[in-house]
Every structure is written in C-alpha cells, then in structure tokens.
Amino acid sequence: MVSVTQPNPAWPQPNPQAKNPRARKLKPPPTRHTTPLPSRFPHTTATAAMAAARRLLLLLAVTLAALAAAARAHNITDILDGYSEYSLYNNYLSQTKVCDEINGRSTVTCLVLTNGAMSSLAANLSLADVKNALRLLTLLDYYDPKKLHSLHGGSELTTTLYQTTGDASGDMGHVNITNLRGGKVGFASAEPGSKFQATYTKSVKEEPYNLSVLEVSDPITFPGLFTSPSAASTNLTALLDKAGCKRFARLIVSSGVVKTYQAAMDKGLTLFAPTDDAFQAKGLPDLGKLTGADLVALLEYHALPQYAPKASLKTMKGGIPTLASTGKGKYDLSVVAKGDDVSMDTGMDKSRVASTVLDDTPVTVHTVDSVLLPPELFGGAPSPAPGASADAPASAPAPEASSAPAPSPNHDKTKPKHKSPAHSPPAPPADTPDTAPAESPEGDEEADKADDKNGATAVSMGIAAMVASVALVGATLL
C-alpha cells in the first residue's frame, strides 16, 4: 500500500497570488446596505442621546416659563366687568385694592358674592374689615367644579390671601372646604366647630390651573375677623413711634405737617415713614439747614394723596404726584418693583419699602429704609418750595461734600435726569393753590386702564413671539 502523507497545518501554505504576480485583483462586491451599520463606539451614541435630552429639557423649561408669564396676565376686575350681578363685589375689590393682590398671583380662586350678599356683608363694616373679608374669600389654589366635588377624603384646608397678611392668628387664614350631603360643597373658617356658612353656587370663569371664579352663597367669617385698627382712631405719631420712626414723627409734629396728613386721610393717603436708622445714614444732607418751607416740602414729599398698599405700588408706572407736587413733574416719585421688593425712586436715590404698619382703607403707612430726597431740593436745580412766598429764598442750602451726589455743573442748565418728569412740560402758572396736586389720581383712571390693556396686549404678543421662537429652535435641533 502506498501511504499518503497528510500536510502539516503548521507548514506555510502556498499563495496562488504570489506565484502569479500579474494575477488580476478582484474588486469587492458593492455594499447593498441601505442603513448605517451599528456604531463601533456605543458610548458615542449615548453621549449624543444625552445631549439631545438636555436640549429638549431646555426647550421645555423655556416653554414653561412662557406659560407662567401668560398665567400672570389675568385681570379680575376686567373679568367681572362683564357680570352686573357682581358689580358691588367688583367695586369693593377696586376700593380696597385687593384686585391688585389677586392679579399678582399666578394661581388663585376667587369666591365671589352677588350684589345682595355683598351689600349685607359691607353694611356695617369699615373698608379695612371688608378688605379682610375679601382676602378670606380668595383661595391660593385652583379649584373648579370637578375638583370641588372630588376632594381627597371629602374635605381639605386651603390657604387664603388673608393668611399672607400676617394678621391671621394660627390657622385663621385658612378655609375648610368640605363635600356636604346632597352634592353640595361648603366653605367655613378653619376655626374648630365653625359652621359652613357659604356653599358653592356655580362657576363663573375658569382659566385652568391659573384662575377660577366661583360664586358662593354667603361670605366666610369668624370671630375676630372684623377688628382691624382704624386710621381714624389711631394716633399717627404713636403709631410711628412704635414702628421705629420717632425722628420722623417729631418732624411732622414740629412742622405742622401732621395736620396736612390728617386732612388727607378721608380721601386717601399713603405715607412713607423713614426709620430712625435712615436719619443716621452716611451722606444724608443736613436737614437742619433747610428753611421751614423746604422742610414742609420734604415731609409732604413722603406722602401720596391716594391709597396705595404695597401690591398696588407694584402696578404703578411713571411719575406719581405727592402731597408736595405743585405742577406736572414736580416733586414726583416713581416705583421700582422686583419680585416682592418695592422701592421708591426719587430720581436721585432709591428707598426700599421695608414694612407696612397700617393698612386701613383709604390710609396706609409704610416704613422705608432711607429718607426720600427730592431733586427739587437736593439735586442742584433749586425750585421754590410748595407754599413758599414770592420773596422767600428760591434755593435750598447746598448739601455738604459728604452728602448725596449732586449733578455736574453742566447739569444746572438742564432739568434733573430723574426719569418720570424729565420730559414733562413746565409747571403751569401759579393760579391754583400751591398745595393742590398737579393731577388727581381719578383723572388718570381711564388712561391707566388703557395702559393696562395695552400692556396685556403687549405681553400676549411677546409670549406668542417667544413660543414661536421656541418652536423654531426645536425644529432646528431636531
């Protein structure tokens, strides 16, 4: 037999190509894949996915911000203007300025009363007490009929606007909402044992998760709700002393300006009282060098001839006349609001509203952390003080070198650059009493409403543009 030797796999194998260098190399067949092959680096795909997720989260945040801005655009008085049966309730919202507090909330439910129920409530109450009642009827959460009839456990406590004032003791600023027999929903004070005085009647207006207006049968009350301090019975100087404004209290008494304040209380007064620390501030001009007329002007500059609680100050625009105003743009103030912080701007400096020591419609007293310095007295452009005689000195003593900054010499030839009155026409001839405000706040009511509506329109257009931009960016990223 012939044995056949099997080739050893370890031996080098013949290479046909090597034997024939001229052999034609075949091209690889064309790839028929129509989709990309899986990545050889899986972590690259994960990184791209994470980046895309971050972009989507950013888009979501911007969209939510736009929706939040839209949520704050409601105006409760404009909404209720279309319902004559709530005209009295709406009128009290405006008088007490609770409407400004409601409009400043992004999520709120208003329990409204018909004219009959509102008339019975307000019959023997002061405006300050009516204001507390309206605040207790304002829930700081969204409730529509569906939510009212599906309460977890059939009952819950909710916070009201009254709780935010600091005047409520314990849980008295909360309201108990309970599902009653027969499908009714009752509202009562959080005080244990309180009866359900008010029941849900019907829904008036719903803007989901932002604003709900519900009609209820009666107001919600509890013992002690209607014991607000009255401005008429309050000793103003004693109130200022207790609030840490003793120096200011002494000045208004010695100058006689306290009588001017008291005379203005019936129609409306907002007082900005500097604290004692404000009079010790570094750089404050020497007020002892002011003439009597200029000191009166300075003190009257610290008061507005209208009722303006803190929530209402946030809505004010442009120059605001003070008791010292003798003409348009003279002795005006303006408001700078950022979040919950409110400051009064004189054109030379700003003073923060620190606290509210009295809120009794139509009078409110705020403390401020610095003395308000009008440019007419301290801005290097002297002007006659309100009530000064024709032969009285036209200018106030110049501040010392350490005082508040004064304009440059060239500035004397022009008007002070405080924003609101900078482009105002000159004051009219002095044929009216010097102490009369240049413009009545009521005279600008229609213009203010028009400004508010124009502002709301501008906000809506801005939000629409923002949403369109977000959509465009999203399309680009995707």
Q: Which amino acid is residue 38, in one-letter code?
A: P
- Residue 222: its pLDDT value, please? 87
Query: Domains in the chain, start-ordered, CATH in brackets?
Result: 73-216 (2.30.180.10), 236-440 (2.30.180.10)
380: left (phi over 0), alpha (psi -120 to 50) or beta: left
Residue 108 token pair: 């709120």
Q: What is the pLDDT confidence band of residue 329, given thresholds at 50, 70 and 90?
A: confident
Q: Which residue has the higher pLDDT, 126 or 20?
A: 126
For 351-393, the pLDDT digits (tens) are 999 999 998 888 999 999 999 999 999 975 444 444 433 333 3
In 3D space, the residue among 322, 435, 330, 440 whose CA is nearest the CA of residue 386 turns out to be 435
For 161-220, the pLDDT digits (tens) are 999 887 777 788 999 999 999 999 999 999 888 889 899 999 999 999 999 999 999 999
| Of 199-208, 229-238, 405-414, the least confident | 405-414
In 3D space, the residue among 272, 240, 281, 276 whose CA is nearest the CA of residue 353 turns out to be 272
- Reply yes or no on whether the pLDDT at 413 is more than 60: no
Q: Which residue has the higher pLDDT, 28 or 320?
A: 320
Rounded to the nearest 10°, the torsion over CA 337, 343, 347, 349 is -130
- Reply yes or no on whether the pLDDT at 29 is more than 80: no
- Residue 456: its pLDDT value, please? 47
Q: What is the pLDDT confidence band of residue 74, given thresholds at 50, 70 and 90?
A: confident
**pTM of the predicted model, to two decimals?**
0.59
CB count, 10 Å around CB of 385?
28
In 3D space, the residue among 138, 131, 169 whose CA is nearest the CA of residue 364 turns out to be 131
For 76-106, the pLDDT digits (tens) are 999 999 999 999 999 999 999 999 999 999 9
- Residue 167: its pLDDT value, please? 77
Q: What mean pLDDT is reported for the chain? A: 77
Place of tokens 């750089």: 283
Pairing of strands 269-274, 363-368: parallel
- Reply yes or no on whether the pLDDT at 341 is more than 50: yes
Longest dimension (CA), the chain: 150
- Residue 290: its pLDDT value, please? 94
DSSP state of 288: G
Cα 70 to chain centroid, rounded: 14
Q: Which amino acid is residue 119, in one-letter code?
A: S
